[in-house]
Structure 1
């Protein structure tokens, strides 16, 4: 006997499968580098078009796969991490439509496509990723329903097909509601861990943000990125713009071109400070950076829980910031900051490489000879020189060997990277201990939610000089040239640009407020929030095994409910069967329910004996049901379903 051929994949089913693939892939592409994402997107469209009517040649598929692999490793680097793995998944999904020619292939394409939203969540857990992931999942379920219809059509089972889009969406909505208890149990009661569950914690592609190094031109990408770096909520007084400096890495070592932070400074005790009379109490919500560096309003009083305070008052988290984190901090502008500088640290704060910037050294020696031991006067002289003849710009040529000389005596224009580096070199050449401090400056208030946003483009570098009796003192040469770059907030500039229409709600502010709400409700649900929720429910403080046991009990209950409702749905998926069961329920209220083992005609005969007036009608309905349901007889299903819905047992008066 010849084997039956597999069902043919219809054009409609193929289109559904490819649209699902594209939608799921979009969720992942948005998290990859733009150039790579654009290349994979174009390749996906080409593959879909070339393979729509006929199979792509095997050689062409192999060459395309090799080209995609080469592009991924060329743009992502050879280091394997989450980014590289996700990019490889996207590349493979772009080629997968070339193999979609049967129902089995289409189901395989949908199944593999659903990996893309989950991979995207490894890189970003924002509301956009969640929305696209949900759309991709819904599209996948709709496609599977379409493929089932395709198969039913091929098997001549029209009673299972031709559902409207509304009916399909309602069916999928019921499936989502059935799984909702399990999802909420996992979110609320699954034990929270401090580190990620996946096995590749490091990203192949570093996020933009502050680093331990400052090199010429290295900040241009950072200063053109308007994505939020942190959000701040103040409890009480808000610092004035001139005090809104967010301290990050402190750079000590200079090799003539780049500044770097010594790693061991974070392991040493914090230098002594004398806080001023002003205190700021605030909470920082930091976006993930994959690094341990925190920022704080200059100058943090102490390290919050889960972090340490380095010798130069840089803050470092105990674990890399792989997800959104919140930190409650207090800061004060110091009266004195390390007023006694040990000789070893003084030597480090004066160190300069030999053979670099001779004109800067000559100018520093000249000032020292003219002004004597007055370090304050030298600092003032340097600021006066910068204020009088320098300009702020992001368009600067790459420096040569004597970068500071070129900036101070030739170009006389640049941005904070140039100003801070040149100022510190000039101070060290004059015998004044100095260092570069990097972080952020400014920020603006979002009126929706009353919090402050500091963006990556607010990245800034300034100088600290050590002066007798005072210790380290902040000096910002960039602010001396372009105070609007530091002290004007984006909020102020937006009001001016709007010509007095600054009260009109900005969509960007609304979007960030919604993102912050998402962060608070979803991404910020950590172990401490989980314990507070359990306490509010009247449960004792649970840890480890107790919490896992609670989750297991709730998960088993949710799975049991899912099994019951799914089984019930399978039994009553047929509209005819649902109508039959509803008629049975009406007779059950009269004590005449059908027994599970009782055939339809036998049940009708029993009803006829108890209620003779209904015997003929119930027998006729039962006969029609049996023929259509079990004997595959041809009949009007819709008419029978309507008759079953209309039939009602008569009351006692009508029986008599």
Structure 2
């Protein structure tokens, strides 16, 4: 029987399954929760259903079709890197169904290593790195275990720890080379290759807003961006992070209109205040950017549209940094372009008749459209909201006449409902209006001194155009009376949404560490690499110097690896070290020992060719006696053998 075809003993089987599970874990943390639970259940059930590595063919087929069908249905039969990773997770969960021999176990472990590597296509955080290293450690230790089973080595007590120590030592030996490659391998300003987009988008702002779409977003406590101000920061109540501007309403959904981005003069008269800051934006796989109202200019790599919305030129697939300067405006676009006016007044026919009737009555009572009358209508709407409405996240799904249902029946909701209904009411009254989405407020992390804005801070407000003043921000959500708010989040500290506000210092430190990871690891690009030695007086590294430095570091790392890999053998077996030096002396004469030759046979062969080599035969006998005799103490003197091996010359 071939060695790889040896039956897999129970202990080795458990080792293999545990290592595969360790590889599967980081990938499961990146797929949707329901799918992750299903794959985990299958991964647990498979070893129980196929204890001997055998399962009925019909069962395999049912499991394969069920899991593949679930994955493709969940991802809408769209292919992306997240779809591929989910399929990889399902195949890894099913792989143990055919694990019967050592060869099958090695195949499972080799396949399992793809899982932690694939996880980096979805997330590059420190948690993924730590779990990936643990997975590699488990797989390598298990491969050592399989090698021991293959050679029939019966391990004494405590042997498992020795396997992990041996693997950790190997990883430590290769670490300098890995670090040298990471820090010094020449990086390019733009990547030479890319990865497919996701089939399922990440949560975040988009160019579309529909009733109920934001319920998951406002309940998500994960970071959206971090802001560091260089100097004075605005009051928290004035931190409106402007994102996509939505113009078009089809009766249910609001969307951005691309052709509006280039119309108008985009005139803004900024106030005297200036706020300089840097944004660290988490990946969204979209192009939408945000900026503190109002940005004075677009940062490199972005476009500033006439409605003062920002878009990056490339999708935000990784953590990005943007330096900007903003100033509160005193007037925004005093003269409204006719095409934009028409767009800002347009409403779909056949929707929300009660809202239209109310708005028309207000217009008749207020008089013809002018700055004074329009301001009175805006104030009247805000007074109504402040008096009769409440803020709540627990809202039913609205029907066809969504604005009518919200204004006259439900009268409770969150920013998505307030901004949408307010803009429809303004347009029906003849006042140009639009929806602006973004984030509001933030939490100042006392550990790092920066502002943390989470996805739960997502917000939508309105802008109305008033003659002589231009676009004016109106936030109907903020007009809701505080005593009427049912479930407003009063504690903005990290962990509040999950009920862990008491652990705020832990969250502060954790987010600060994640920010450092983003800065020193994920943010390490070609520009920062060129300034790597700036602290040592080298202002900039050109390509030639960088390559030279990389080659030098690689050679030193490889030399260190070679020295460390032979150091243990030299220290533990000085007799073998002296013997191999003796072999090299005879190899120069063409009489080197073949790898398959025992010491006695080799010395006999040399004695035939050189009659004066009888001393070698005596040394070989002493060496073999010391190396392989059971009683080492009474056979020969190791120190004397080492001395004679070093002195002998052919």
3-state SS of 2:120 partner? helix
- 1:143 corresponds in structure 2 to 142
* TM-score for both structures, normalised by structure 1: 0.85
| Structure 2 equivalent of residue 113 of structure 1 | 112
Q: How many residues are treated as equivalent by the alignment?
A: 615
Structure 1 residues 325 and 593, CA, compared in 2 at 3 Å: closer, same or farther? same
Counterpart of 1:72 in structure 2 is 71
Matched, 1:214 2:212: no
Given that 2:495 and 2:507 are in contact with CA atoms closer than 8 Å, whether structure 1 keeps it comes out as no
Partner of 2:37: helix, strand, or coil? helix
Cα distance, 1:515–1:5 mapped onto 2, change above 3 Å? closer
1:325-368 superposed Cα distances (whole Å, 9 cap, x missing partner)? 11111111101111111111111111111122222222222222
- Cα distance in 2 for partners of 1:333, 1:5 equals 72
The question of 1:344 aligning with 2:339 is answered: yes
**Mapped contact 1:202–1:290 kept (Cα < 8 A):** yes
Pick closer, same or farther for the CA change 1:382–1:538 going to 2, 3 Å: same
Structure 1 residues 57, 79: closer, same or farther in 2, change over 3 A?
same
CA distance in 2, matches of 1:214, 1:540: 48
| 1:626 counterpart residue number | 624
**Cα distance change of structure 1 residues 267 and 174 upon mapping to structure 2, 3 Å threshold:** farther
1:299 has 2:301 as partner: no
8 Å contact 2:223–2:453 — kept in the other structure?
yes
Residue matched to 2:530: 531
Pair 1:242 & 2:237 matched:
yes
Distance 1:80 1:343, change over 3 A: same
Q: Residue 4 and residue 290 in structure 1: after superposition, are their counterparts in 2 closer, same or farther (change >3 A)? A: closer
In the alignment, is residue 334 of structure 1 matched against residue 341 of structure 2? no
Alpha-carbon distance, 1:269 to partner = 7.9
* CA deviation after TM superposition for structure 1 residue 167, in Å: 3.2
1:469 alignment partner in structure 2: 468
* Runs of 5+ consecutive residues of structure 2 not aligned to the other structure: 594-598, 604-614, 645-650
Do structure 1's residue 368 and structure 2's residue 366 form an aligned pair? no
Alignment of 1:152-163 (within 5 A): 152-153=151-152
- Is the 8 Å Cα contact of residues 441 and 486 (structure 1) preserved in structure 2? no
Indicate the residue corresponding to 2:250 in structure 1.
255
Pick closer, same or farther for the CA change 1:563–1:446 going to 2, 3 Å. closer
Report the Cα distance in structure 1 between the residues aligned to 2:48 and 2:285, rounded to whole angstroms.
39
**Structure 1 residue 241 displacement after superposition:** 2.2
How far, CA to CA, are the matches of 1:640 and 1:377 in structure 2? 109
Where 2:532 maps in the other structure, the secondary structure is: helix
| Secondary structure class of the residue paired with 1:460 | strand
Equivalent residue number for residue 610 of structure 2: none
**Secondary structure of 2:436 counterpart:** strand
Question: Paired residue for 2:423?
Answer: 424
Q: Residue 648 and residue 186 in structure 1: after superposition, are their counterparts in 2 closer, same or farther (change >3 A)?
A: closer
Match of 2:298, SS state, is coil
C-alpha distance in structure 2 between counterparts of 1:62 and 1:487, whole Å: 49
1:568-579 equivalences under 5 Å are 568=566, 578-579=573-574
Task: Find the aligned partners of 1:643 and 1:204 in 2 and give their Cα distance.
Answer: 71
- Unpaired segments ≥5 residues, structure 1: 605-615, 651-656
Alignment of 1:47-62 (within 5 A): 47-62=46-61
CA distance in 2, matches of 1:41, 1:430: 56
Question: For 1:165-244, what aligned pairs fall within 5 Å after superposition?
Answer: 165-193=160-188, 199-244=194-239
Change in Cα spacing, 1:4 to 1:427, as seen in structure 2 (3 Å) is closer
| Distance in 1 (alpha carbons) for counterparts of 2:381 and 2:203 | 32
Could you tell me how far apart the structure 2 residues matched to 1:83 and 1:66 are? Answer: 19
Give the 3-state SS of the residue equivalent to 1:461 in structure 2. Answer: strand
1:518 aligns with 2:547: no
> Does the aligned pair in 2 maintain the 1:250–1:436 contact within 8 Å?
yes
Matched residue SS, 2:473: strand
Secondary structure (helix, strand or coil) at the match of 2:459 reads: strand
Question: Could you tell me how far 1:163 is from its partner in structure 2?
Answer: 7.8
DSSP-derived class of the 2:121 partner:
helix
Q: Does the C-alpha gap of structure 1 residues 289 and 60 become closer, same or farther in structure 2, counting only changes over 3 Å?
A: same
CA contact (8 A) 2:71 2:86 kept: yes
Specify which of 554, 557, 564 is matched with residue 562 of structure 2.
564
Deviations 1:233-272 (A, max 9, x none): 1221121122011111100001111100012344568711
Out of 490, 493, 504, the residue aligned to residue 492 of structure 2 is 490
- 2:90 counterpart residue number: 91
User: Take 1:3 and 1:648, find their aligned partners in 2: how far apart are those partners?
Assistant: 40
Q: Could you tell me which residue of structure 2 aligns to residue 24 of structure 1? A: 23
> What's the offset of the Cα at 1:463?
0.2
Partner deviation per Cα, 1:296-329 (whole Å, 9 max, x = no partner): 1111111111111111111111110000111111
C-alpha distance in 2, partners of 1:462/1:641? 91
Contact residue 221 and residue 495 of structure 2 kept, 8 A: no
Q: 1:196 to 1:118 in 2, by over 3 A?
A: farther
Aligned partners of 2:230, 2:490: CA distance in 1, in Å? 22
Change (3 A) 1:412 1:380: same
